[in-house]
Chain A
Amino acid sequence: MLKIGVLALQGAVSEHIRSLESAGAEAVAVKRTEELQDLHGLVIPGGESTTIGKLMRKYGFMDAVRDFAAQGKPVFGTCAGLIILASEIEGQEEAHLGLMNMTVARNAFGRQRESFETDLDVKGIDNPIRAVFIRAPLIKSVGAGVEVLSTYKGEIVTARQGRFLAASYHPELTDDYRLHAYFLEMAKEAAASKA
């Protein structure tokens, strides 16, 4: 069975664990870099990207997750996790992991009163998924190697670059596990190509 970690420094960890388990994986919370070792993939959850970024730096996760990714293991970021994955953040000098070649804008829809849910078509998934956007970021532009999987009102909200997947919204807040299943397929391919 695939074993997927959910970075558990802050944010909606238990929701991702539940979604991953429902999609058929073993899921564990990751608080220390050593715990990355035997994983087939990592989810960086929604939360506050400033807090998660700060704690990742403090506990050595920046290098550890870059090493993890360099081994060809997949990483999936939702909302704050998407910001952590981006190579550039509008209005900020420093990016976090910088693994995905894209520029993102934080709180791109406005404040909490502008948060919403909607049906969203995602390339590779048959019917629309219910997407919950909470003070959500947007992908303003993507660079080489990044495939756009979905847009909302012309703006990019889901993207994939090789073994990295990013969503502006929160698939973990619904009972629809298809995006998690999509990520598990990525993890399965990665594990197979390694073997």
Chain B
Amino acid sequence: METGTSRVKRGMAEMQKGGVIMDVMNAEQAKVAEAAGATAVMALERVPSDIRAAGGVARMADPTIVEEVMKVVSIPVMAKARIGHYVEAKVLESMGVDYIDESEVLTPADEIFHISKNEFTIPFVCGAKDLGEALRRIQEGAAMLRTKGEPGTGNIVEAVRHLRLINGQIRKIQGLSKDELYNEAKLLGVPYDLLLGVHETGKLPVVNFAAGGVATPSDAALMMHLGADGVFVGSGIFKSDSPEKFARAIVEATTHYQDYKLIAEVSKNLGTPMKGIEISKLNAAERMQDRGI
């Protein structure tokens, strides 16, 4: 009997496929998310848009919030640790959190090194905006990936950019000859073996979800159309006018992302989605996607 194997960690993410993982800030929101059909919840002190608004240093949530959420739902509970913050991750593991997001939404604790995730029994998800970041995170032990997008903006453009880039890079790698792969591994800054795997299989060895800017059912469906395995929704649900309706609609649109009539139906009378931010209005320090590369 073995726990914490790569198959057990990656398999856990595979069970989330086609699903929606929702950010929640308390037990009540967690119950709303579960009732709407979320496949997991991310327990946070503040959703990304509030983190943006508040400024300052964003850290791991108060363990009370995480515990409270774990108590009220039967679906998996995820929580965020700062990039490179080994101890926050160990604290979350000790509490029995099901998945840790080593997340650029929080202020990085380390500007060079990520957490050595292979040392943990519980799995990690990490953000990536290109194939280099994706394979470096996998090498460090991430068992699931997500696009970084631009969290808390309600603007899908960056998540689209990241997913298209990664998928385009995968197609390019598939077409390279073996001798070209050595150089490509060097250029991308990734281990040759992982790149060879991508070359041979035409896909990443772990599940890749969309995240960072999903605000509407159509946004979620667009990311599925572009090849995401599932969707994280951060501020999009509980910063909208009617969280319950938005949550249900996003779940259905993710499952039936090619059924446009159904998406039209579930999108009716949802009220106002979260207010969005135009990406060019962000200054360099406000771009969360540039953290942890």
Residue numbers of A with Cβ under 8 A of B are 8-15, 31, 46-48, 50-51, 54-55, 58, 79-80, 106-107, 110-118, 132-135, 170, 173-174
Known: A10-B18, A51-B19. A132 touches B11 (CB 8 A): yes
Choice from B2, B5, B17, B252 contacting A47 with Cβ under 8 Å = B17
Tell me whether B15 and A50 are in contact (CB under 8 A): no
Minimal Cβ-Cβ distance residue in A for B39 = A48
Taking CB atoms, residues of chain B closer than 8 Å to A107 are 74
Contact with A along B172-213 (1 / 0, CB 8 A): 000000000000000000000000000000000000000000
What 1/0 flags go to B3-25 for Cβ under 8 Å of A? 11101100110111111000000
13 contacts between A and B (CB under 8 A): A8-B18, A10-B17, A13-B17, A48-B40, A50-B74, A51-B39, A111-B98, A113-B122, A115-B8, A116-B2, A117-B8, A118-B1, A173-B11
B76: chain A residues within 8 A (beta carbon): 48, 111-112, 135
Q: Which residues of B contact A14 (CB under 8 A)?
A: 17
Shortest CB distance B117–A (Å): 14
A31 contact set on B, CB distance < 8 A: 255-256
| Residue of A80, A113, A118 touching B121 (CB-CB under 8 A) | A113
Contact A55 B37 (CB under 8 A): yes
Q: A31 to B16, alpha carbons, bound, how many Å?
A: 17
Apart from A10-B255, A47-B16, A173-B14, what 19 extra A-B contacts exist at CB < 8 Å? A11-B15, A11-B17, A31-B256, A46-B15, A48-B15, A48-B39, A50-B75, A51-B37, A55-B37, A55-B252, A107-B74, A110-B96, A111-B76, A112-B122, A113-B3, A116-B5, A117-B7, A133-B8, A135-B98
**Known contacts A113-B3, A173-B7; A13 and B18 CB within 8 A of each other:** yes
Contact (A47, B121) CB under 8 Å given A31-B256, A113-B4: no
Report whether B96 and A116 are in contact in the complex, using a CB–CB cutoff of 8 Å: no
Q: Is the CB of A135 within 8 A of B12?
A: yes
Query: What's the nearest-Cβ distance from chain A to residue B34, in Å?
Result: 6
Tell me the bound Cα distance from A48 to B75 in angstroms: 7
List the A side residues contacting B121 at CB < 8 Å. 113
CA distance A15 to B19 in the complex (A): 16
- Assess whether B15 is in contact with A117, with CB atoms less than 8 Å apart: no
What 0/1 readout, one digit per residue, does chain B (85-97) give for beta carbons within 8 Å of chain A? Answer: 0000000010011
Identity of the chain B residue whose Cβ is nearest the Cβ of A47 in the assembled complex: B15
- Whether A112 pairs with B99 at a CB distance below 8 angstroms is yes
A116 surroundings in chain B (CB, below 8 A):
1-3, 5, 8
Instruction: State the CA gap A61–B11 with chains docked (Å).
Output: 26
Q: Closest CB of chain A to B75's CB: distance in Å? A: 6
Q: Do residues B122 and A12 form an inter-chain contact, with CB atoms below 8 A?
A: no
Contact pick for B12, options A8, A13, A50, A112, CB 8 Å: A112
Q: Which residues of A contact B2 (CB under 8 A)?
A: 116-118
Contact B3 A114 (CB under 8 A): yes
| B251 contacts A by Cβ under 8 Å | yes
- Given the known interface contacts A10-B39, A135-B76, the answer about A47 and B7 at a Cβ–Cβ threshold of 8 Å is no
Complex CA–CA separation, A106 to B73 (angstroms): 12
Counting chain A CB atoms within 10 Å of each CB, which of B4, B11, B38, B76 scores highest? B11
Contact A134 B17 (CB under 8 A): no
- Which residues of chain A have C-beta atoms less than 8 A from B11's C-beta? 12, 115, 132, 134, 170, 173
Contact of B39 with A47 in the complex, beta carbons under 8 Å:
yes
B253 → A minimal CB distance (Å): 12
A47: which B residues are within 8 A, CB to CB? 15-19, 39
